[in-house]
Structure 1
Amino acid sequence: MKFAIQSRNDDQSNELMERAKTYLTDFGLTFDEESPDIVLSIGGDGTLLHAFHRYADQLSSVAFVGIHTGHLGFYADWKPDEIEKLVISIAKHEYNVIEYPLLEATIHYCGEEESSTYLALNESTIKSPDVTLVMDVELNGSHFERFRGDGLCMSTPSGSTAYNKALGGAVIHPALEAIQLTEMASINNRVFRTVGSSLVLPAHHACVLKPVKAADFMVTIDQLHLLHKDVKSIEYRVAKEKVRFARFRPFPFWKRVHDSFIDGFEA
């Protein structure tokens, strides 16, 4: 088996990375950063997002596992003092692989046949650099609304606990193949109206955003911030690809939600 390691690059994460590399090679595994079978992410959820995008072209063959060197994350569930236990489990192939849905974002440009396609593990957002964002929202080819506001966020189920939740969106279990469109400070008055609620779209639905005025937008794909010029449309749908996680023990989604947002705040 071949493995790679993504570190947050702080002292603790780098020390754990070296220990894990030594342990795994001692067990006969091969360190291979080009085409690994399993990728250890040591840091936090942001570190795992970097690992995901680093190996986004190998999702059908690579599995991810996270070790957190900060707060417990939604993707990083192993603790630093469990590194030896994790290494032994990897060496013995004592794990199952689970799959989560991803978001596909395709950006089409004015006057060009070419487009840019990205995969997101958490979400994609779109904002206008200087003015209010004005976008026509189409669902399955039919006009739904004209949005005016700060921006829009399209998230995956596993990413629904991130920026989407901060915007007031729903938390969705990642067993559901869906994407969620959530507004950022929409303008609603006697003239302009939006639905005002998050929209959850199933895998066979597509959402297309079409600019009304400006054609230059700031688009994020997880932690990546990109300025796209002369945008004709942005199409979102559930991706055909999935992200694969190596699971060595139960890691219930709702328990993660409880531990992250409720535990420690109860009276």
Structure 2
Amino acid sequence: MKIALYHSGQDHSLDVANDLKQLLLNENFEIDDVDPDIVITIGGDGTLLSAVHKYRALMNKVRFVGVHTGHLGFYTDWRDYELEKLVAALKEDHGEEVGYPLLEIAVQYEGEKKPVIYNAVNESTLKKISGTLVADVYIGGVLFERFRGDGLCVSTPTGSTAYNRSVGGAIVHPRLKVLQMAEIASINNRVFRTVGASLILAPNEKITIIPVAQGTFNFTSDREDTVGRVIKQVEYRIAKEEVHFAKYRHTGFWNRVQNAFIGKDNEV
């Protein structure tokens, strides 16, 4: 088994990565950062998102394992003091995995012949840099509404607990391969109306956002950030590929939600 180690660069994460590397070498695992079978991330959820984007070309073959060096995260099943247990689990690996949906995003920039393709584990947002975002929203190629507000957020089920939740979106279990669009500070009055709620769409549907007002935009895809480019159209759909996590003791999704937002101290 070939293993890549990907860390956040912080001192503690670097120390943990060095300790884990030595434990793996002691058990005759091969360290391979170019063509790994498993990628172990050391840091937080942001570190794991960065690793997914780095190994995007290997998405169909690589599995991810997260080691957290801070507070509990949604994508990390192991803590920094459990390295020996993690190595023992790797030795008993039989290919177990769990897959989560990815967003496929096609952005048509002004002056470009072809759209630029992005993938997101969590979410993508579109905002106007100054003033109100005015955009026509199409669902399945049919005009749904003309949106006015600060912006729009389109998320995966796993991303539903991230920025989507902070703007009022629903929390969705990752076994539902759907995409969700949530409004960011929409304008609703007697003159301008939006649906005023997040939308959860079936996996075979697509969302197309076409800005009406001219200007430059802030587009994000997970940790990728594009600022100041003129955007003609953004199209969202569920990607054919999934991100796969090694399932040694994969923490249940609702346990993750409870730990993140409620906490054990608040149990009835």
Shorter chain as denominator, the TM-score bin is over 0.9
Are residues 250 and 225 of structure 1, via their aligned partners in 2, closer, same or farther at CA, if it must alter by over 3 Å?
closer
Post-superposition Cα deviations, 1:14-33, rounded to whole Å, max 9, x if no partner, equal 11101111111221111111
Are residues 15 and 65 of structure 1, via their aligned partners in 2, closer, same or farther at CA, if it must alter by over 3 Å?
same
SS of equivalent residue, structure 2 residue 34: coil
Q: Measure the CA separation in 1 of the matches of 2:128 and 2:250.
A: 42
Report the counterpart of residue 261 of structure 2 in structure 1. Answer: 261
Give yes or no for the alignment of 1:123 onto 2:116: no
Post-superposition Cα deviations, 1:207-231, rounded to whole Å, max 9, x if no partner, equal 0000101242110111111126232
Q: Measure the CA separation in 1 of the matches of 2:79 and 2:230.
A: 46
Q: C-alpha displacement at 1:113, in angstroms? A: 2.6
Q: Is the 8 A contact 1:106 1:236 kept in 2?
A: yes
Report the counterpart of residue 141 of structure 2 in structure 1. Answer: 141
Q: What is the correspondence of 1:201-212 to structure 2 with a 5 Å cutoff?
A: 201-212=201-212
Q: Measure the CA separation in 2 of the matches of 1:43 and 1:211.
A: 37
Q: In the comparison of the two structures, how many residue pairs are matched?
A: 267
SS of equivalent residue, structure 2 residue 108: strand
Q: Is the 8 A contact 2:77 2:250 kept in 1?
A: no
Identity of aligned residues (%): 48
Q: Is the 8 A contact 2:157 2:177 kept in 1?
A: yes
Unmatched segments (≥5 aa) in structure 1: none
Deviates more, 1:149-158 or 1:17-26: 17-26
Report the counterpart of residue 77 of structure 1 in structure 2. Answer: 77
Report the counterpart of residue 185 of structure 2 in structure 1. Answer: 185
Q: What is the correspondence of 1:26-37 to structure 2 with a 5 Å cutoff?
A: 26-37=26-37
Q: Measure the CA separation in 1 of the matches of 2:225 and 2:232.
A: 19
Post-superposition Cα deviations, 1:138-174, rounded to whole Å, max 9, x if no partner, equal 0011100010101100000001000000111000000
Post-superposition Cα deviations, 1:161-199, rounded to whole Å, max 9, x if no partner, equal 000001110000000110100000000011100000000
Give yes or no for the alignment of 1:172 onto 2:172: yes
1:153 aligned partner, one-letter code: C
Q: Is the 8 A contact 1:125 1:153 kept in 2?
A: yes
Question: CA RMSD, aligned part only?
Answer: 1.4
Are residues 262 and 22 of structure 1, via their aligned partners in 2, closer, same or farther at CA, if it must alter by over 3 Å?
same
SS of equivalent residue, structure 1 residue 35: coil
Deviates more, 1:244-253 or 1:148-157: 244-253
Give yes or no for the alignment of 1:239 onto 2:239: yes
Post-superposition Cα deviations, 1:218-265, rounded to whole Å, max 9, x if no partner, equal 101111111262322100000111000011114110111111111134
Q: Measure the CA separation in 1 of the matches of 2:135 and 2:115.
A: 19
Q: Is the 8 A contact 2:104 2:238 kept in 1?
A: yes
Deviates more, 1:219-228 or 1:166-175: 219-228
Q: Measure the CA separation in 1 of the matches of 2:36 and 2:221.
A: 24
SS of equivalent residue, structure 1 residue 81: coil
Report the counterpart of residue 12 of structure 2 in structure 1. Answer: 12
Q: Measure the CA separation in 2 of the matches of 1:67 and 1:111.
A: 42
Are residues 261 and 63 of structure 1, via their aligned partners in 2, closer, same or farther at CA, if it must alter by over 3 Å?
same
SS of equivalent residue, structure 2 residue 81: helix
Q: Is the 8 A contact 1:98 1:245 kept in 2?
A: yes
TM-score using structure 1 length: 0.96
Q: Is the 8 A contact 1:95 1:248 kept in 2?
A: no
